[in-house]
Amino acid sequence: MQRIAAEPLDALRNRTSAKWRSYPADVLPLPVAEMDYPLAEPIAAALIDAVRRSDTGYNQGSRTVAEAFQGFAATRLGWDVDPARVTCTADVSMGIVEVLRRVTSPGDGVVITPPIYPPFFDLVTESSARIVEVPMLGGIDEGWSLDLEGIEAAFEAGARAMVLCNPHNPIGMVPDAATLAALADIAARHDVTIVADEVHGPLAQPATPYTPFLTVSDAAREHGIAITSASKSFNIAGLKSALVVTASDRGDRVRAALPYEVEWRMGQFGAIASVAAFRAGGRWLDGVLASLDDNRRLLADLLADELPGVRYRMPDATYLAWLDLSELGWGDDPAAYALEHAKVALANGPTFGATVGRGHARLNFACTPEVLDEAITRLAEAASPVVE
């Protein structure tokens, strides 16, 4: 497999995105979920062509993106998507909020599963619902799983929806089809909605393929709504395009109730880039997955050699590593210590869940092997005065 090489630091520091403008030049920025790989050529060409023809007006709506996604989902994900059951919007977070507003009433409980992508906490409250935490079972040593009994108990207590992260950010777990089907059965018993954030789905490694929630059963299709995007897999988050996907009359009614402006929030460049990604980005994505596989294994080796007290489980999906840094003695928020003493920026663990995130941090390994090596070397040098 032809790997896609990440760009070197001197080129990356010319970028103006948040990852490269949030820290001083002496910091290695590894917190934000942006990849350091060059843009896929079909996407770049489509955007350049659009600029040359001054095609910078409003997007034409969901249909073209939905049809491109239909082909991508069928060939890469084993997912039969009906383009008529897709409504686009600006991004996954916006889609989650708008769907939650349709399927809950103010004050209703919404289940999330820490450690979890930090904006989930804000998205639930933005929708006027109430957060109900059901932490993941297990951990780094034995692996994680959804607490299905805990989730059902939350629904029995009155929660009306759940935001499922499939695959799971930050731990990189890919729930299997049986687990997702069991979750769907629970949702059906309690007549609740599973809002499935599946933006990292195409970034699952081939050995652990991701299962789209809406494919697992009739119950999942009836009680699930999926929200996805090309943004993470193809590194185009700033272009603003996402898809809300349904597979039942019940789900269609939710989409139909979305405000008119939700669809118009999709960016024109986001739509153009998404179509190019879904239609012609497969070879590039395969190369990125191969490079990410190399890096997740390299990270394991680097930690074993230089920071053996740090606990890490190789993720099965995403380019994000959930690290337990507790033994380093860097406090509840070791990312803060790492930024000050090692000049390495990591995502702050407690933001993923105040209790389960304590002593943890998230690291983005979608970078060159040299940057990853340098980051672990810096962390090891910062740790040595503390552990000696």
Residue 388 has pLDDT above 50, yes or no: no
| Domain final position from 265, 280, 295 | 280
DSSP secondary structure letter of residue 308: T
pLDDT, one tens digit per residue, over 149-195 is 999 999 999 999 999 999 999 999 999 999 999 999 999 999 999 99
- Averaged pLDDT for residues 135-151: 97
Whether the pTM exceeds 0.75: the reply is yes
Q: 275-330 pLDDT, tens per residue?
A: 999 999 999 999 999 999 999 999 999 999 999 999 999 999 999 999 999 999 99
* CATH code assigned at 134: 3.40.640.10
pLDDT at 47: 98
Which pLDDT belongs to residue 280? 98
Residue 322 sits in a domain whose CATH number is: 3.90.1150.10
Q: What is the pLDDT of residues 65-89, one digit of tens each?
A: 999 999 999 999 999 999 999 999 9
- Count Cβ neighbours within 10 Å for each residue of 124-154 and write b for 16 or more, e otherwise: bebbebbbbbbbbeeeeeeebebbeebbbeb
| pLDDT score recorded for residue 384 | 85
Same domain (yes/no): 22, 67: no
Query: pLDDT-based confidence at 385, cuts 50/70/90?
Result: low
Same structural domain, 368 and 237? no
pLDDT at 244: 98
Count CB-CB contacts under 10 A for residue 37: 22
Give how far Cα 52 sits from Cα of 46, 56, 131, 241, 266, Å. Answer: 10, 10, 46, 21, 21
Which tens digits make up the pLDDT trace of 223-281? 999 999 999 999 999 999 999 999 999 999 999 999 999 999 999 999 999 999 999 99
Between CA 363 and CA 342 the distance in angstroms is: 14
Does 205 lie in the same domain as 111?
yes
Q: Indicate the SS3 state at residue 197.
A: strand
Last residue of a domain, one of 280, 296, 327: 280
Q: CA-CA distance, 359 to 114, in Å (whole number)?
A: 14
DSSP codes joined into one string, 60-77: --SHHHHHHHHHHIIIII
Is 3 within a domain?
A: no
Residue position matching structure tokens 């663990």: 349
